[in-house]
Amino acid sequence: MRAIAEAPSKAIVTGEHFVVHGAWALAAALPMLVRVEAESAPTPSVVSDRVAGGSRGILPILKTVEAMAHELSFDPGVRVKVSSEVPEGAGLGSSAATLVAVVSAVSRLRGFKLTPQEVSRFAMVGEREVHGRPSGVDAEICARGGVLLFRPGSPPREVPLDGTRSLMVAFSGSRRSTRVQVENVAKVRKKSMGAFDLLVAEASERSLEAADTLSKGDLRGLGRLLSASQLALSRIGVSTRSLEGLIAAALSLGAYGAKLTGGGGGGSIIAVAARGKEKSIVSGLRGRGYEAFVAEVPVKGARSWLER
Ligand code: PMV
């Protein structure tokens, strides 16, 4: 008997970094998946085609399984096999999606049907190993799916969409560590003599507005909020020249707005455009050498099942 789980990746639409300091963030699950197979074995082990951080990425998985086995009183002897469509270090939540899929598969193997809230709580054990001080937004969106407003310490709010929306995602080509970016932002905050807290409050407001525009399908309004978010992110030092170049390319091809997504310092951008224009923008970006795709949201959260 083995258990299989799949978890979606994610994009932070607005509020990354500021969410670590208490702001609302808006996040959407993306259709690229991580798949995990779990089966009983004499000792805990992990095999992977691609785990975030390579062999360093294995320890967070083992610690997560150990914490679950301890709390739920089951045998930790589980062999976990990870296969991922999500590029690592690209700001698309590869570590959270992996950990959420691991928790879903291992709990299913041992006969537990956890709620998304419980899945994300266990995934946070590994997320803390990977990121140091994660806000929890990545684990929550990968577990629940859909589109969410998230802030630490508040119940997440599902954002309703009547139909689907298209987000464009493009990869700058440079990978980086979210942990380092989060640490750098903490230093910026310390030096800012209170000014950072104003940026946190503004970012929080923008996320609430962005949820409203996305929900209503006002993509022009959402584009303006993406560009305003990008400005705030560049002020706290997480943007780079290559990200700015990619954003400028998306805007020159006709996007309403664009910004980096996730930890920054490299990684990916998201952009929105008028309905029907996304494909031509994405092919324009590909023509300039970037990996880019259109993601339809909402996407379902993590799911798991048993196979003989
Ligand atoms: O780079 P990613 O995909 O791990 O996203 C990080 C998001 C941050 O807001 C920068 C950190 C966090 O824990 O919320």
**Stated length of the chain:** 308
Do 151 and 281 meet the contact criterion of CB atoms below 8 Å apart? no
**Ramachandran assignment for 18, one of left (phi > 0), alpha (psi -120 to 50 degrees), beta (any other):** alpha
For a pocket test of ligand 1, which of 95, 176, 182 has the largest count of ligand atoms closer than 8 A to its C-beta? Answer: 182
Ligand 1 atom nearest to 133, measured from its CA: 13
Of the chain, the end-to-end C-alpha distance in Å amounts to 5
pLDDT tens profile 11-46 = 999 999 999 999 999 999 999 999 999 999 999 999
pLDDT tens profile 232-256 = 999 999 999 999 999 999 999 999 9
Q: How confident is the model at residue 176 (pLDDT cuts 50, 70, 90)?
A: confident
Average pLDDT for residues 177-190, to the nearest whole number? 94
16 CB within 6 A, ligand 1: yes
pLDDT of residue 1: 95
Domains of the chain and CATH, by start: 2-159 (3.30.230.10), 165-297 (3.30.70.890)
For 23, the 3-state DSSP assignment is coil
138 labelled catalytic: yes
Buried b (16+ CB within 10 A) or exposed e, 185-204: beebbeeeeeebeebbeebb
Do 203 and 18 meet the contact criterion of CB atoms below 8 Å apart? yes
Q: Which one of 49, 75, 138, 162 is the catalytic residue?
A: 138
pLDDT of residue 177: 87
pLDDT tens profile 279-303 = 999 999 999 999 999 999 999 999 9
Ligand 1 atom nearest to 20, measured from its CA: 14
Pairing between β-strand 45-48 and β-strand 147-150 as defined by DSSP bridges: unpaired
Distance CA 143, CA 148 (A): 11
pLDDT tens profile 46-100 = 998 865 545 567 999 999 999 999 999 999 999 999 999 988 889 999 999 999 9
Ligand 1 atom nearest to 185, measured from its CA: 10
